[in-house]
Amino acid sequence: MHKELSDLINRNVQGANAVAFIPADSKKFDGSITVEASHIYKVIEFLKNNKETSFNSLHTQSGVDYLDYMEVCYMLTNYDPTAPRNVIIKVKLTDRVNPTVDTIVPLFAAANFQEREIYDMFGIKFNNHPDMRRILCPDDWSGWPLRKDYIAQKDYNGMTVYPDDKMNFEDRDFIVRQDMIKKAQSEKAQ
Amino acid sequence: MQSRWDIGEPIKPTLNVDTEKLKSELLVLNMGPQHPATHGVLRIEIWTDSEIVAHAIPHLGYLHRCMEKHSENLDFRGVIPFVDRLDYLASMNMEWTYAMTIEKMLGTEVPRRAELLRILTGELQRIASHLMAFGTYALDLGAFTPFLYAFDYREKILRLFEEVSGARLLYNYIWIGGLWNDWTDDQLSRVATFCDEMEEEAKKYHDLVSMNKIFIERTANVGVMNIQDCLDFGASGPVLRGAGMKWDLRKNEPYSLYSEFDFDVPVGTGEVGQVGDCWNRYIVRMKEVVESIKIIRQVMDKLEPGSIMGKVPKVMKLPEGEVYVRAECPRGELAFHLVTKEGAKEPYRLKVKSPCFTHTSMLPRVAPGQMIADFVATVGSIDIVLGEVDR
């Protein structure tokens, strides 16, 4: 299904460069289609409006930070009782300092909040978005929490974040985090 | 004798200004974050033109607990209690969906009895959640009695869950591969009695609230979300079905054992008001309670003794890959987007697609032009739980 769909995109959207990822075990894992970040609006527009696919709803958008690059995933779905279809469309963003991608709010109103959440968590800016603000964190929070190299700010409006006397650093679960923080700090020092 | 309330003719203000030149502007009114009608800590900035809402801007994040970040540092089993706290009124469904996500990647086969009991608990939880929605919605509209009726019967479900899982709200009961504890025959027979009682009770609610003239006046033709809006915003669950679309994952893309069950998907038909309004969303929930009872009865017939835990490795390590698993929860479609790395014990990324988050984003679309009291009715009718919106 992913192969046919990526061929269809390549035929109809010039320069989309769609590559299908088909997992070895399709029962266990989901496949996806990666397209050029600059063409995402046209690809989604094509998938929404043509008759063969007609994905009529955006289920959600998700971001993933792979350290080398960041991904924005678009989960499209078709609420069609006779032939339900779902697909994951992805774009890769290699720029960590100022990642940008076009918004798809004019196509799906659902993208409004979802893109704000991705901006809030990953710092990925969406061009032409009507309301590009943080959504879950406070407006004056600094840093992008779900990035893998994120270190929480120490001080927020005169309040201590993660005060030592209230944190259980000995806890097994926090050891992982401590490793990551130390690693990120040493990388920053270099 | 002059009544003490008779204060005579009202005094006309004598202003030295031309009233036509008076400056008028929209008034900003904050609904929440501590407001009974927002069902939690949601702040909605309402721009009002006298009694009419001009804009409504939801401000989220008051209950943001960094659940997605935390889960990146926990092993796969350790995430379950965190998942409970998303939609704390439907914890069973949250756990179940998360367990399905991991099981898909592991390729675990869940024993038949465990699957059936999951459906049983899931549907009981759906009834409990819809009862809560019913009670608090009536409370929003000024009727206190239905709230007490609903809590009486919700309590019976919580008692059962308490016996079987040890907790009343945050269960940690559905585990990866199966269940933590089995139901005894005595408990199952009590479920059967509950179903009979609940069926009668649902009729009572119907007489008490659904066809009540005041309730209809407050909800019919209010906060209309048509199918096009719903698809545009990616709505699901009772909101989508209230708009007249016959879509239910349990029926259209059956997961677990739902394909074996016989039940209807209630949709808003517009017998009162118009399709997609508050009343239709409400009645879809009430009809779903009856459908859930049907499913539970079928589970009882199918149940056979057997194991309740599948074969799961002690140290859980998943292969590298990603899945996107959806399930029908009381409030809509919940989905987990899980990305794992080879040999890692914790999720690399766990994204929660929350139905309430999606539905909250619809408020700015439906609000303009409504009366403030009607806006309260609209917020109540989408049945949001803020734990899930903010995560």
Cβ contacts (< 8 Å) between A56 and chain B: which residues? 231
Is residue A128 assigned to a domain?
yes
In this prediction, residue B383 has a pLDDT band, given cuts at 50, 70 and 90, of confident
Residue A42 to chain B, least CA–CA distance (Å): 17
Give the per-residue pLDDT at A170. Answer: 58
- Identify whether residues A7 and A89 lie together within a single domain: yes
Binary contact (A28, B346; C-beta < 8 A): no
**Distance between the two ends of chain B, CA-based, in angstroms?**
64
Lowest mean per-residue pLDDT among B25-34, B158-167, B335-344: B25-34
Q: Which of B321, B335, B339 sits opposite A60 (nearest CB)?
A: B335
Residue A64 tokens read as 């993933």
Helix, strand, coil share of chain A (percent; to 5): 30, 25, 45
Residue B12 to chain A, least CA–CA distance (Å): 45
Is residue A119 assigned to a domain?
yes
- Identify whether residues A116 and A75 lie together within a single domain: yes
Binary contact (A109, B232; C-beta < 8 A): yes
Looking up residue A129, the CATH number of its domain turns out to be: 3.30.460.80
Give every strand in the sheet of B27-31, ordered side by side. Answer: B27-31, B43-49, B52-59
Q: Which of B229, B323, B353 sits opposite A30 (nearest CB)?
A: B323
What is the rounded distance in angstroms from the CA atom of residue B82 to the CA atom of residue B391?
A: 9
Is residue B349 assigned to a domain?
no
Is residue A144 assigned to a domain?
no
Binary contact (A58, B234; C-beta < 8 A): yes
Is residue B242 assigned to a domain?
yes
**What burial class does residue B386 get, using C-beta atoms within 10 Å of its C-beta: 0-12 exposed, 13-18 middle, 19+ buried?**
buried
Per the structure, the complete domain to which residue B215 belongs is given by: 76-316
Nearest to B229 by CA among B376, B86, B378: B378
- Identify whether residues A169 and A125 lie together within a single domain: no
Is residue A22 assigned to a domain?
yes
For the residues A78-96, what does the mean pLDDT come to?
A: 84
Residue-wise over B330-347: b if at least 16 C-beta within 10 A, else e? bbbbbbbbbbbbeebbbb
Cβ contacts (< 8 Å) between B322 and chain A: which residues? 29-30, 32
Q: Is the pLDDT of residue B139 over 60?
A: yes
Distance of CA B356 to the CA centre of its chain: 7
Tell me which chain B residue has its CA closest to the CA of residue A76. Answer: B234
Is residue A143 assigned to a domain?
no
Give the per-residue pLDDT at A66. Answer: 87
Cβ contacts (< 8 Å) between A29 and chain B: which residues? 105, 321-323
Cβ contacts (< 8 Å) between B64 and chain A: which residues? 136-137
Residue range A140-173, pLDDT digits in tens: 888 888 888 888 788 888 888 777 777 665 555 5
Is residue A141 assigned to a domain?
no
Q: Is the pLDDT of residue A176 over 70?
A: no
Give the per-residue pLDDT at A86. Answer: 84
Average pLDDT over chain B, rounded to whole? 86
Cβ contacts (< 8 Å) between B390 and chain A: which residues? 136
- Identify whether residues A75 and A159 lie together within a single domain: no
Cβ contacts (< 8 Å) between B55 and chain A: which residues? none
Residue B269 to chain A, least CA–CA distance (Å): 18
Q: Which of A28, A58, A136 sits opposite B321 (nearest CB)?
A: A28
- Beta carbon pairs, A and B, within 8 Å: 105
Per the structure, the complete domain to which residue A17 belongs is given by: 2-135
Q: Is the pLDDT of residue A81 over 80?
A: no
For the residues B338-353, what does the mean pLDDT come to?
A: 87
Express as a percent the part of chain B with pLDDT over 70.
94
Q: Which of B61, B104, B360 sits opposite A137 (nearest CB)?
A: B61
Looking up residue B122, the CATH number of its domain turns out to be: 1.10.645.10
Give the per-residue pLDDT at A152. Answer: 78
Give the per-residue pLDDT at A8. Answer: 80
Residue range B86-108, pLDDT digits in tens: 888 889 999 999 999 999 888 88
Is residue B382 assigned to a domain?
no
Average pLDDT over chain A, rounded to whole? 83
- Identify whether residues A162 and A95 lie together within a single domain: no
Residue range B38-78, pLDDT digits in tens: 677 888 888 888 888 888 888 888 888 888 888 888 888 88
Is residue B325 assigned to a domain?
no
Binary contact (B333, A56; C-beta < 8 A): no
Is residue A142 assigned to a domain?
no
Is residue B255 assigned to a domain?
yes
Residue B168 tokens read as 């009343």
Is residue A82 assigned to a domain?
yes
Residue range B263-307, pLDDT digits in tens: 889 988 878 888 888 899 999 999 999 999 999 999 989 888 888
Is residue B357 assigned to a domain?
no
What is the rounded distance in angstroms from the CA atom of residue B372 to the CA atom of residue A94?
A: 46
What's the structural domain count of chain B? 1
Residue range A39-73, pLDDT digits in tens: 888 888 888 888 777 888 888 999 998 888 888 99
Express as a percent the part of chain A with pLDDT over 90.
7
Binary contact (B64, A136; C-beta < 8 A): yes
- Identify whether residues A156 and A84 lie together within a single domain: no
Give the per-residue pLDDT at A174. Answer: 54
Strand duo A125-127 + A100-102: pairing: parallel
Is residue B161 assigned to a domain?
yes
Q: What is this structure's pTM?
A: 0.87
Binary contact (B361, A121; C-beta < 8 A): no
- Identify whether residues A166 and A98 lie together within a single domain: no
What's the structural domain count of chain A? 2
Is residue B356 assigned to a domain?
no
Backbone CA torsion sign across B150, B153, B157, B159: positive
CA Rg value for chain A: 19
- Identify whether residues A111 and A167 lie together within a single domain: no
Residue B214 tokens read as 């005041």
Within a 13 Å sphere around the CA of B307, how many CA atoms are in the beta-carbon half?
Answer: 8
Binary contact (B231, A81; C-beta < 8 A): no
Cβ contacts (< 8 Å) between B231 and chain A: which residues? 56-57, 79
Binary contact (B234, A146; C-beta < 8 A): no
Binary contact (A57, B234; C-beta < 8 A): yes
What is the rounded distance in angstroms from the CA atom of residue B155 to the CA atom of residue B153?
A: 5
Residue type, B110: V
